[in-house]
Amino acid sequence: MLKTAQERSGGGQRPYIGFGKGGSPEETLAGLDVRIIACRHCPRLVAWREAVAQSKTRRFRDQEYWGKPIVGFGDFDARVVLVGLAPAAHGGNRTGRMFTGDESGNWLFRALYETGFANQPESIGRADGLRLKDCYITASVRCAPPQNKPTKEEFANCRPYLLEELSLLKNLRVVVGLGKIGFDAAASALKELGLIDYRKKPKFGHGIHLRFGKIHLLGTYHPSQQNTFTKKLTREMLRSVFRKARSTARRK
């Protein structure tokens, strides 16, 4: 039986409603997930994600790591879509769900909860009961990269998955880039899909809000520990971007 966007990442909520080439929307999304999870296109990332899953880290040594690419997570009817960089070695690569099980995710999901996009502030594993409402989370690269730095070639290899996923989110109105890399990936993907157009590449900044017809592009500093420890990004700054995303999505 085909699974919903949240069930395939460990939750359960809405049915797929997207459209793709050939087959029903459900088949298309289910097929996309199957292709992503089976993907071994980037030898360096495949080797890294699997090596980390084997060696683990001390505090999670008793857990079985996911060790595969990560699919998108959230409400498939979402108007608000977050685009991040890539899963963390001991976060998403361990738990099998975007941003789940690491400090960035703790910040992110707390802010989503406090702004009404999530049903709980915590995200510790795929069976933790987390549900997103009107929000979907994806990434520009699906495998954990060493030092969180994918190569240009790895970005290019993974890009078709982002394009296909965004094209299936038919209610999409507001895209929030998490960090410069997520923002740039979102902007170029939306342009390639014909959803927005620009001559000069949009410049990333925290709190930036650009409108392209009915599509809005927002940016926030990434909730990485580097940013949160140094207070470059505070909880209120992150909530403020999500509040703006919510009010913008509601606007006609």
Residues forming the site for ligand SF4 (CB under 6 A): 36, 39-42, 45-46, 69, 141-143, 154, 157-158
How crowded is residue 230: how many other Cβ atoms within 10 Å of its Cβ? 9
List, as one string, the DSSP characters of 198-236.
-SSPPPP-TT-EEEETTEEEEEE----HHHHHTTSS-HH
Q: Which is nearer to ligand SF4, 46 or 210 (CB)?
A: 46
Q: Which is nearer to ligand SF4, 17 or 46 (CB)?
A: 46
Q: Is 158 or 189 the residue whose CB approaches ligand SF4 more closely? A: 158
**Euclidean distance between CA atoms 167 and 101, whole angstroms:** 28
Please state, in angstroms and rounded to a whole number, the distance separating the CA atoms of residues 244 and 175: 11
We find the least distance from the C-beta atom of residue 62 to ligand SF4, in angstroms, to be: 26
* Min CB(147)–ligand SF4 separation in Å: 15
74 forms bridges with which residues in the sheet? 136
Nearer to ligand SF4, 11 or 69 (CB): 69
Angle of the 179-192 helix axis to the 152-168 helix axis, nearest 10: 60
Nearest distance from C-beta of residue 67 to ligand SF4, angstroms = 11
Minimum CB distance to ligand SF4 smaller for 162 or for 237: 162
Q: Shortest approach of ligand SF4 to residue 160 CB, angstroms? A: 8
CB of 66 to ligand SF4, least distance (A): 12
Q: Which amino acid is at 232?
A: K
